[in-house]
Amino acid sequence: MTNAARKLLSTFDDRRAADTMREVLSSAGITVGGDAPWDIQIHDARVYARVLRDATLGVGESYVDGWWDCASLDQMVTRLVLSRANLVVDDSWVLLAQAVKARLFNLQIARPFEVGERHYDVGNDLYAAMLGKHMAYTCAYWKNADTLDAAQEAKFELVCRKIGLRPGMRVLDLGCGWAGFAAFAAERHGAKVVGYTVSKEQQAWSRAHHAALPVEIRLEDYRKATGRYDAVVSIGLMEHVGWKNYRSYMELAERLLAPNGVAFVHTIAGNIPRSHIEPWFDKYIFPNAVLPTLARLASAMEGILIPEDVHNIGEDYDRTLMAWWHNFDAAWPTLRARYGDTFYRRWKYYLLSCAGAFRARSQQLFQFVMTRPGTPAPRSRRG
């Protein structure tokens, strides 16, 4: 084939890719070059072929590279998900490779500290600016709250009510983050809390800020937890447990519970079972993560723990993510020198695309209260 022929074929393929993607976007009410907030502006025509080749990985990477823009990413993603137009680019070699890797390996066990090193250790100054005073990196509860800090306190109080927290109770917090809940449970309810994290920065921050409280934060894989506790909670850990390990998680929680103890899980969940998350998020945000489903977690409990209460507050994650985005964006002038403009676009895509997905209800946030067989049902209240 001559160079001229190759160039002609390449031009034809680029045009076909552009036509295909414009049609997909149009089906979601999104116009290339339009003036609505959810419309997109193309800066590099190679984006069409890149997206068709690399699917959602290509969408995210091309945005971070500056090949396209959108005034309101969250609204764009909501429209794509609701129209199911996003399914057009769901199949690719990237997804196939990721699925094969998830089937062959148990990465959550093989690499337990990777997500801590690559995501949670990014910088405490970043998270302090974004998350608010409680450093809570999970969905807040906005039912009777007007601010992020108030909504996170409401979420903590909701958890305390559900587990029946009383002074003197011993609580195990698996995947404790910056110990926001641990500190709240200790300070407001007189609990004694042991937390496990795989992030050295989270441990350092927690020790520096909560040294006066009966809170012990251990830098260790949650699977190494020992002791007996009146309540075993995980608030944002299950996304990192892995679909092959849900059963062993339930066995661990049961083993760590004192008589009449209560187990509690707060987790993002998908609507359909998958062995991996979207490739872009796996590569750049949460390595080796996978979203559980209600059915998979219920199956993992069978014969081990009784589900006493299941509560979906997924709609609240949209508002939480938007609050994080506004905090991050407002603080960017003080963060830019350390993190750089590529990081800004990556974090913007992460926070706003997640907000859009939750707004479209493609993801949920479940809270589970569980007990051993024979344990009296807790009188938990949702509030």
Name the residues annotated as catalytic. 354
Handedness of CA 25, 29, 34, 35 (dihedral sign): negative
> What does each C-alpha distance from 283 to 46, 60, 202, 244 come to in angstroms?
22, 11, 21, 20
Do residues 229 and 278 make contact, with C-beta atoms less than 8 angstroms apart?
no
Categorise residue 253: left if φ over 0, alpha if ψ from -120 to 50, beta otherwise. Answer: alpha
In whole angstroms, give the CA distance from residue 36 to residue 241.
Answer: 40
In whole angstroms, give the CA distance from residue 16 to residue 135.
Answer: 47
Q: Which residues pair with 170 in a beta bridge?
A: 192
Rg of the chain on CA atoms, in Å: 22
Nearest to 354 by CA among 252, 270, 288: 270
- 């506790």: which residue's tokens? 229
In whole angstroms, give the CA distance from residue 331 to residue 214.
Answer: 32
Backbone angles phi, psi at 73, to 5 degrees: -60, -40
Nearest to 67 by CA among 89, 51, 81, 79: 51
In whole angstroms, give the CA distance from residue 88 to residue 58.
Answer: 13
Which amino acid, one-letter code, is at 53? R
In whole angstroms, give the CA distance from residue 175 to residue 203.
Answer: 11
Q: Which residues pair with 267 in a beta bridge?
A: 366
**How many CB atoms within 10 Å of residue 336?**
12
Do residues 191 and 257 make contact, with C-beta atoms less than 8 angstroms apart?
no
In whole angstroms, give the CA distance from residue 11 to residue 32.
Answer: 19
Do residues 181 and 156 make contact, with C-beta atoms less than 8 angstroms apart?
yes
- 């608030």: which residue's tokens? 235
* Cα 182 versus chain centre, distance: 20
